[in-house]
């Protein structure tokens, strides 16, 4: 098993290794590319949401319209069958 890290010289030597530092210019360019990718993603999401909300509105109008026509037809049919119309 692993020895107690707090008493292990080898563990301490590993912890004390000088970090390998990334090039700041390269890091900045990576960050910029990620920001661009995030912006593209946000754009796609916004377009998707707009399309979905438009389709959602169309659904409501169509279902409402057909329901109205159906109810009117049933009422007219009922009135006709009782000889009112």
CB-CB neighbours of 8 under 10 Å: 13
Is residue 49 within the footprint of other proteins (CB under 8 A)? no
Q: Is 37 in the site for other proteins (CB under 8 A)?
A: yes
CA distances from 5 to 16, 69, 79 (A): 13, 78, 90
Q: Does 20 bind other proteins (CB under 8 A)?
A: yes
Q: Are 67 and 75 in contact (CB under 8 A)?
A: no
Structure tokens at 30: 């990576």
Q: Which of 5, 49, 59, 79 binds other proteins (CB under 8 A)?
A: 5
Based on the shown chain and the rule CB under 8 A, indicate whether residue 39 belongs to the binding site for other proteins: yes
Q: What is d(CA 65, CA 71) in angstroms, rounded to the nearest whole number? A: 10
Our finding on whether 52 is near other proteins (CB under 8 A) is no
Contact between 59 and other proteins (CB under 8 A)? Answer: no
List residues near other proteins by CB under 8 A. Answer: 1-3, 5, 8, 10-11, 13-23, 26-27, 30-31, 33-35, 37-39, 41-42, 45
């Amino acid at each position: 098993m692993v020895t107690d890290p707090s008493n292990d010289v080898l563990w301490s030597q590993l912890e004390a290794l000088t970090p390998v530092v990334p090039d700041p210019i390269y890091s900045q360019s990576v960050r910029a590319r990620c920001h661009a990718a995030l912006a593209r993603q946000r754009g796609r999401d916004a377009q998707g949401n707009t399309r979905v909300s438009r389709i959602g509105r169309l659904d409501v109008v169509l279902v409402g319209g057909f329901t109205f026509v159906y109810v009117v037809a049933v009422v007219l049919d009922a009135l006709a069958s009782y000889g009112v119309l």
